[in-house]
């Protein structure tokens, strides 16, 4: 099969890779209908995260089940399924509490490489959710978004305790931030302030339910949020970047008693204890337990209540994955869908 490999920073190649096979009785093999490049794939691509190349890439996937291991009960060949970036048993105490991305048996899918034609999914019963029917082609980008960016934006909104009547600020205008806006709208936020300085992303944020756009960043951005909230700060802030600046901007833009939901993968973030102490802000986040939300998100997508697939503004054949990485790295694309 064909699959993307990262050899070194900036060097992505699509090449022949061995077809995945059932290794454990709880595995499933899926034939990917679509996959994509993640903002978090850019960390190793840019050399900010160590690359031990050549490494298989990709952790977002939807597709048709080809084969299942002897112990798989809940999915069967021919079904269209959505999974997420950590395989989980969905039965341990941590999973049952809703934190499947910290499952005691979790397996990272990134190391298996979903930017490919086929993928082995461990713990298939706990990981994969089948759609009610084979979805129409135009629903596939939305279902692929549910695999990570929508599920992550949704978790950020839930972690930030977004509720009807609240004011929400969203730091980060990548796919996760934009879908955090969508999630905040669905969860009933009264006012949603998107922080973005890119016209195309502002437009999508407004389409997804943002009521205000703030173009300033850092301390100036915090001042603008305070101006818009009677000097208090937002009730809920979604942090979807993962840098020191974005994290501090999020904490400082939150009112005392408010909540930050942080889902940007943290890189060199160090929180000042005294400032945190006096902020009276709740912090919750981490790798999103997307599996918790998948059944609900799949329903919203197939009923066409939400259209998260709009974050994909560039579609390329899998063989052109390298161009997909470049387009996202240079911010020419919000998110790139790859067709295997
Ligand atoms: Zn578990």
Please state, as a whole number, how many other Cβ atoms lie within 10 Å of the Cβ of residue 102. Answer: 16
Q: Is the dihedral of CA 236, 287, 172, 280 positive or negative?
A: positive
Determine the distance separating the centroid of ligand 1 and the alpha carbon of 271, expressed in angstroms: 30
Contact by Cβ (8 Å): 124, 108: no
Instruction: Find how far residue 52's CA is from the centre of its chain.
Output: 23
Determine the distance separating the centroid of ligand 1 and the alpha carbon of 20, expressed in angstroms: 24
pTM of the shown model:
0.96
pLDDT in tens, 16-37: 999 999 999 999 999 999 999 9
Determine the distance separating the centroid of ligand 1 and the alpha carbon of 247, expressed in angstroms: 29
User: What local confidence, expressed as pLDDT, does residue 133 receive?
Assistant: 95
User: DSSP secondary structure string, 71-91?
Assistant: T--S--TT-EEE--SEE--S-
| Whether residue 170 has pLDDT greater than 90 | yes
User: What local confidence, expressed as pLDDT, does residue 51 receive?
Assistant: 85
Classify residue 132 by its DSSP letter. S
Contact by Cβ (8 Å): 126, 101: no
Backbone angles phi, psi at 7, to 5 degrees: -85, -40
User: What local confidence, expressed as pLDDT, does residue 52 receive?
Assistant: 84
Q: What is the mean pLDDT of the chain?
A: 97
Classify residue 262 by its DSSP letter. E
Q: Over range 89-111, report the average pLDDT.
A: 97
Determine the distance separating the centroid of ligand 1 and the alpha carbon of 140, expressed in angstroms: 27
pLDDT in tens, 270-309: 999 999 999 999 999 999 999 999 999 999 999 999 999 9
Structure tokens, 288: 């999103």
What is the band of 3 on the pLDDT scale with cuts at 50, 70, 90? very high
| Whether residue 112 has pLDDT greater than 90 | yes
86/108 Cα distance (integer angstroms):
5
* CA 297 vs CA 22, 129, 204: distances in Å: 28, 11, 19
| Of 147, 141, 200, nearest in space to 339 by CA | 141
334/228 Cα distance (integer angstroms):
27
Residues within 5 A (CB) of ion ligand 1:
88-89, 92, 95, 103
Determine the distance separating the centroid of ligand 1 and the alpha carbon of 124, expressed in angstroms: 12
Determine the distance separating the centroid of ligand 1 and the alpha carbon of 102, expressed in angstroms: 7
Q: Which bin fits 205, alpha (ψ -120 to 50), beta or left (φ > 0)?
A: alpha
Backbone angles phi, psi at 242, to 5 degrees: 105, 15
Determine the distance separating the centroid of ligand 1 and the alpha carbon of 308, expressed in angstroms: 27
Determine the distance separating the centroid of ligand 1 and the alpha carbon of 17, expressed in angstroms: 30
236/229 Cα distance (integer angstroms):
12
Determine the distance separating the centroid of ligand 1 and the alpha carbon of 106, expressed in angstroms: 7
Contact by Cβ (8 Å): 63, 158: no
Which residues make Cβ contacts (< 8 Å) with residue 254, sequence separation at least 6? 169, 233, 234, 235, 236, 237, 260, 279, 281
Of the chain, the percentage scoring pLDDT greater than 90 comes to 97
Determine the distance separating the centroid of ligand 1 and the alpha carbon of 96, expressed in angstroms: 7
pLDDT in tens, 44-81: 999 988 888 899 999 999 999 999 999 999 999 999 99
Determine the distance separating the centroid of ligand 1 and the alpha carbon of 109, expressed in angstroms: 15
Contact by Cβ (8 Å): 260, 160: yes
Looking at the DSSP assignment, which residues form a beta bridge with residue 168? 192, 236
Structure tokens, 225: 């949020």
pLDDT in tens, 191-226: 999 999 999 999 999 999 999 999 999 999 999 999
Determine the distance separating the centroid of ligand 1 and the alpha carbon of 274, expressed in angstroms: 35
Q: Is 294 helix (H, G, I), strand (E, B) or coil?
A: helix
Backbone angles phi, psi at 325, to 5 degrees: -60, -45
Q: Over range 249-258, report the average pLDDT.
A: 98
| Whether residue 183 has pLDDT greater than 90 | yes
Determine the distance separating the centroid of ligand 1 and the alpha carbon of 85, expressed in angstroms: 14
Range list of β-strands (E), 263-333: 282-285, 312-317
User: What local confidence, expressed as pLDDT, does residue 53 receive?
Assistant: 82
Of the chain, the percentage scoring pLDDT greater than 70 comes to 100
Determine the distance separating the centroid of ligand 1 and the alpha carbon of 87, expressed in angstroms: 9
């Amino acid at each position: 099969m064909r699959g993307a490999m990262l050899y070194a920073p900036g060097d992505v190649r699509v090449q022949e890779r061995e077809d995945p096979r059932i290794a454990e009785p709880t595995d499933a093999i899926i034939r990917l209908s679509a996959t994509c490049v993640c903002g978090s794939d850019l960390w190793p691509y840019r050399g900010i995260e160590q690359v031990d190349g050549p490494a298989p890439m990709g952790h977002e996937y939807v597709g048709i089940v080809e084969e299942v291991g002897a112990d798989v009960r809940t999915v069967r060949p021919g079904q269209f399924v959505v999974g997420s970036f950590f395989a989980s048993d969905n039965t341990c105490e941590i999973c049952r509490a809703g934190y499947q991305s910290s499952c005691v048996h979790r397996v990272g899918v990134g190391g298996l490489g979903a930017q490919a034609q086929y993928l082995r999914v461990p713990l298939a019963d706990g990981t994969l959710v089948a759609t009610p029917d084979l979805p129409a082609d135009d629903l596939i980008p939305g279902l692929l978004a549910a695999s990570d960016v929508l599920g992550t934006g949704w978790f950020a909104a839930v972690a930030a305790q977004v509720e009807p009547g609240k004011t929400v600020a969203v730091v980060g205008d990548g796919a996760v931030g934009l879908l955090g806006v969508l999630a905040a709208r669905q969860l009933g936020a009264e006012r949603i302030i998107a922080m973005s300085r890119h016209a195309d992303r502002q437009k999508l944020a407004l389409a997804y339910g943002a009521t205000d756009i703030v173009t300033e960043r850092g301390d100036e951005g915090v001042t603008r949020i305070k101006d818009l909230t009677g000097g208090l700060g937002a009730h809920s802030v979604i942090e979807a970047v993962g840098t020191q600046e974005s994290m501090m901007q999020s904490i400082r833009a939150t009112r005392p008693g408010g909540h930050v939901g942080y889902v940007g993968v943290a890189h060199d973030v160090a929180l000042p204890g005294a400032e945190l102490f006096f902020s009276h802000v709740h912090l919750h986040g981490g790798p999103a337990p997307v599996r918790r939300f998948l059944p609900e998100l799949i329903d919203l997508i197939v009923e066409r209540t939400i259209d998260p697939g709009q974050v994909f503004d560039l579609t390329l054949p899998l063989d052109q994955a390298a161009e997909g990485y470049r387009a996202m790295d240079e911010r020419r694309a919000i998110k790139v869908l790859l067709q295997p």
